[in-house]
Amino acid sequence: MADIPTVIVIAAAWCALHSLMITRAWERGVARIGSRASAWHRLVYNLVSAVTLLWCWLEFRARPGEVLWAWHGLWQLPRLAGLGLAIWLGWAGARVHDNAAFLGLRQIRDHRDGQAPAPPILSREGILGDLRHPYYAAGLLAVFLWDDFTTTNVAWRGVFMLYLLLGAWLEERKLVAVHGDAYRRYRREVPALWPKRPRS
């Protein structure tokens, strides 16, 4: 039980760093350094996020805690189905998002070629016609279903699941600021994390 506060602090610190580095204020600060720094910002953000998340995972693995509930027997079937759905949602999202821009590679290439950054577009292609945030939905499923439940991983799972829900909400605010009424209409028509049942 002594590890639970440490796990919560580590998870919350990662979430805070991850959010801070993508805020508009941070991006404006990077832009003041120069256009080259702006071009590299997204890639550096992704690398820092990945390395620090790996460090968190290693810290969590070093604090396994007591098992509260294990996926066993027939319970493995819904777990595996949910993990399969998470993988599919990630794949479906990757098919319709601009992955080069998401990773930060397009920004570096545009800067190298002297091109202005392309304006963001609002797409309803593929999964985005049924779900606004397939990556967040995939993340929620993966975090919940990843492993057996222990005293310490329930703590970090709770932090990360709350963070994913908060992240979706913050993303909505950013998208409304960028796309205005077009995004408000999209938000009314397409659910965020769980698709509507088809009408019969």
Residues 140-154: tens digit of each pLDDT: 999 999 899 999 999
Q: Give residue 197's pLDDT.
A: 60
Q: How confident is the model at residue 200 (pLDDT cuts 50, 70, 90)?
A: very low
Domain residue ranges in the chain: 3-189
Residues 86-98: tens digit of each pLDDT: 999 999 999 998 8
Residues 95-118: tens digit of each pLDDT: 998 899 889 999 999 999 988 877
When pLDDT is averaged across residues 156-171 and rounded to a whole number, the result is 93
User: What is the pTM for the complete model shown?
Assistant: 0.88
**List of residues 6+ apart from 146 with CB closer than 8 A:** 83, 157
Residues 150 and 3 sit within 8 Å (Cβ to Cβ): no
Q: Taking the chain, what is the end-to-end CA distance rounded to the nearest angstrom?
A: 50
